[in-house]
Every structure is written in C-alpha cells, then in structure tokens.
Amino acid sequence: MSKFKKKTGTSENIPTSALPDIIFMLLFFFMVTTVLREQEILVEQKIPQATQLQKLEKKSLISYLYIGKPKNVAVYGTEPRIQANDVLINTSDIILWVNQEKDQLSEVERDQITISMKADRDVKMGPISDVQFELREADARKLLYAAVGKVQN
C-alpha cells in the first residue's frame, strides 16, 4: 500500500487572481529586454554595404559621429553636416567633442576610445577627410566606418 495517491481530478486552469501578476511579469520582461535608441538622428542615413564586417566587443568605448544631409533642410541647409550625440557640430568642434567623450571614460580607457563614423553613402569624401584630419589632431586614432552587410540573394 502506497502512502501517496495520484490525484485524479487535477485542474490545470490558471486562477484569475494570478493574471495581474503574470501581465506585470511580461511587461517587466519586455521593458528590461528592449533597447531604446539613445539619440535622435538629425541627418539622413543610408549606410553603404560592405562585404567584410566585424562585430565589436566593447561598445562602451565607442562614440558615434553621423555625417549626412540634414533632415530639416529648411533650418540647416542641404550641405552635409556632422552630428555628435544630439547636436549638429562643425569640423572645428570635433576636437572639443572628442575630449569631452574621453573625459567620460576612466583614465585607463581614454586611449582606447573608438570613433564610429556613420556616413551617408551620398556624402562626398571632402567632409569625411576633414573629419579624419580633426580626429587625428584630437589623438583619436581608432576610427571605424559603419556599414551594413551585403544582402545575399
């Protein structure tokens, strides 16, 4: 004779009193797992395609520069502009911006800062060369160019 009997009439219904808890857990899960964009892009971005890409490991050391035609043409004109964080800057302001970005990092990581340049595919090489020169002057030697992978058919 067994001490434990099998229950025969078990119900697998979820009690309605537990529904708010379940909904809250789902909501909390999606809030935690969703990554929100940190900055609003003020310039047009049609990123060029590339055949060889590398994924970056330490994203905390990356600062982004966006180069492209402004979305608000009435205010900023049609010439390509540079966006750093949420502000449109000139090439002369890049050194100051790089120094501010380095100040946010720890002392050990300051020389490891990487500038990611996301340039629109329609931007001429002149503004990009100006940005490269200013980054050299600011001693930001690690530069990467953002691209999207080539679509395989």
The CB density around residue 12, as the number of other CB atoms within 10 Å, is 4
Domain containing residue 78: 49-149
Nearest to 112 by CA among 143, 87, 85: 143
Q: What is d(CA 153, CA 151) in angstroms, rounded to the nearest whole number?
A: 6
Work out the pLDDT band at 152, boundaries 50, 70, 90.
low
Q: What is d(CA 145, CA 125) in angstroms, rounded to the nearest whole number?
A: 13
Computed from CA positions of residues 108, 102, 142, 137, in that sequence, does the dihedral angle turn out positive or negative? negative
The reply to whether 86 falls in a domain is: yes
State yes or no: pLDDT of 1 exceeds 70: no
Q: DSSP string spanning the chain?
A: --S----SS---PPPGGGHHHHHHHHHHHHHHH----SS---B---PPEESS----S-GGGEEEEEEE-BS-HHHH-SS-EEEETTEEE-GGGHHHHHHHHHHTS-TTTGGG-EEEEEE-TTS-HHHHHHHHHHHHHTT--EEEE--EEPPP-
Report the CATH number at residue 58: 3.30.420.270
The reply to whether 19 falls in a domain is: no
The reply to whether 125 falls in a domain is: yes
- Per-residue pLDDT reduced to its tens digit, 45-71: 888 788 777 777 788 889 999 999 999
CA angle 7, 13, 16 (to 5 degrees): 135
The reply to whether 17 falls in a domain is: no
Tally of domains in the chain? 1
The reply to whether 80 falls in a domain is: yes
The reply to whether 129 falls in a domain is: yes
- Per-residue pLDDT reduced to its tens digit, 66-112: 999 999 888 888 899 999 988 899 999 999 999 999 999 999 888 88
The reply to whether 68 falls in a domain is: yes
pTM value? 0.69
The reply to whether 118 falls in a domain is: yes
Q: What is d(CA 74, CA 70) in angstroms, rounded to the nearest whole number?
A: 9
